[in-house]
Amino acid sequence: MSTSKSVSSSSEDDNELRRGPWTLEEDNLLSQYISDHGEGRWNLLAKRSGLKRTGKSCRLRWLNYLKPDVKRGNLTPQEQLLILELHSKWGNRWSKIAQHLPGRTDNEIKNYWRTRIQKQARHLKIETDSREFQELVRRFWMPRLLQKVKESSSSSAMSIQNQAIPLVLDDGVSQQSTIGTIPWQGACVSMNGGSPTYMDQHEQNSDSEHNSGSCISFSESANMPKVSHHFGHTMDQFHSLSNNDFGTYSYDPYHVNDNAYEMETFKAATAKVAQDVQYPIADCQTAGTDWLSNDFACTMWNIDELWQFSKLQK
DNA sequence: AACAAGGTCAACCGCGCAGGA
DNA sequence: CTCCTGCGCGGTTGACCTTGT
């Protein structure tokens, strides 16, 4: 990016297009023009507004930053969950995914995926489009995010109750219990075979088989063991494992990737999942790489923590 | 305090598609 | 049918920020 060029404002290049970061004046000018004339016809807007920007640049600035309904700040566990699910369904269709996360832009989601998810995959030395990674996401990451949704919804149920769609978590035994809500109209995620499946309103309507009215739920499946089963204890135990049973460990949904304990749990689950779904653990390793003993593991995880974790699995 | 390394995210680029002339 | 223009999308870049040494 040649931003240094963009900020030059000598008289001789007054006619040149500006590039780089937007100034407050430019933002005001763009916002004012759009409030007067509306969105769209970006090239015309760029010419008439007095901005020395391309129509493209104006559009991007408006959609990604200035538009009033653009949300700022960390993605909620619900949003992270949806991104994971929708990406597994649609791949890098960022704009399509963004349509299902009100206030979030495709750019933001794309950045989240690249900086958080892909980073995690790099550390584990697996490809994000690989079967192994998909399994990890479905069996490990999503259930934990669901748990986070449950926690956040129970603490803030009052604030989102009115607009929410019910979330249902099957406890894996017999009964179902409502665990929380997703605060978006028309969104629905169900756990089929232990993995969440997202359907938008249109798909729900067109797919009566899935149109149960409930949203996030787990359902039992003989051939798809639950994450809790991988650890040989109940879902509740799994949940507490995920949270505070490691001494000072505290689960932070916004920094899932950075926590050494998180990585440890993730890695162990990976190995177990690989066994349980009946493809060899070697499949979870890229050629010539053992991520149970590589340099990364050695620096990220200490032996005491590993021992504590293995104890919990017994 | 200074520097390096790594992470984040706003912005740019190139490509492809749609619609109109 | 071809060309042109506008627009949107996904990939990439690089400035800025944070964290570690």
pLDDT tens track for A176-213: 323 333 334 334 445 444 444 555 444 444 433 333 33
Q: Is residue A175 domain-resident?
A: yes
Task: Give the residue with minimal CA–C1' separation from B7.
Answer: A115
Percent of chain A predicted with pLDDT > 70: 43
Determine the pLDDT at residue A271.
Answer: 54
Q: Are residues A232 and A187 in the same domain?
A: yes
Q: Do both A265 and A118 map to the same domain?
A: yes
In a domain, A4, yes or no: no
At A268 the pLDDT is 57
* Same-domain check for residues A115 and A263: yes
Mean pLDDT of A23-45: 85
Closest C-alpha among A107, A97, A193, A195 to residue A145: A195
- A7 lies in some domain: no
A114 and A38 together in one domain = no
Q: Which residue has the higher pLDDT, A203 or A1?
A: A203
Task: Return the residue matching tokens 């994000």.
Answer: A128
Together in a domain, A27 and A95: no
Residue finishing a domain among A66, A90, A105: A66
Q: Is residue A101 part of a domain?
A: yes
Across all strands, nucleotide nearest A41 (CA–C1'): C6
The amino acid present at A284, given as its one-letter code, is: C
How far does the CA of A275 sit from the C1' of B7, in Å? 34
**In whole angstroms, what is the distance from residue A210 CA to residue A213 CA?**
8
Residue A8 belongs to a domain? no
User: Which protein residues, judged by their CB atom, are less than 7 Å from any atom of strand B?
Assistant: A 1-2, 6, 18-22, 53, 56-57, 60-61, 64-65, 107-108, 110-112, 114-116, 119
Tell me: pLDDT of A289 over 50.
Answer: no
**Protein CB footprint (7 Å) on chain C nucleotides:** 5-15
Mean pLDDT of the residues in chain A = 57
Same domain? A289 vs A186: yes
Same domain as A83, residue A59: no
Question: What distances in angstroms separate CA A137 from CA A10, A193, A230, A264, A273, one per listed residue?
Answer: 52, 14, 14, 15, 11
Whole-angstrom distance, CA of residue A29 vs CA of residue A49: 7
Domain boundary pick from A66, A99, A127? A66
Distance B18 C1' – A293 CA (angstroms): 53
pLDDT, position A302:
33
Task: Indicate if A58 and A117 belong to the same structural domain.
Answer: no
Total tally of structural domains belonging to chain A: 2
What domain range is A182 assigned to? 77-313
Buried b (16+ CB within 10 A) or exposed e, A181-215: bbbbeebbbbbeebbbbbbeeeebeeeeeeeeebb
* pLDDT > 60? residue A96: yes
In a domain, A291, yes or no: yes
Query: Stated in angstroms, how far is A107 CA from B6 C1'?
Result: 21
Which among A139, A91, A145 has a CA at the least distance from the CA of A113? Answer: A91
CATH of the domain at A26: 1.10.10.60
Same domain as A205, residue A257: yes
State which nucleotides on strand B lie below 7 Å from a protein beta carbon.
7-14
Q: Is residue A3 part of a domain?
A: no
Whether A9 maps to a domain, the answer reads no
Whether residues A227 and A121 fall in one domain: yes
Judge whether residue A139 has pLDDT over 60: yes
pLDDT in tens, A164-181: 333 333 322 233 323 333
Q: Which residue has the higher pLDDT, A59 or A284?
A: A59
Residues with CB under 7 A from strand C: A 1-4, 40-44, 55-56, 59, 92-96, 106-107, 110-111, 114
Whether residue A60 sits in one domain with residue A178: no
Are A88 and A59 members of one domain?
no
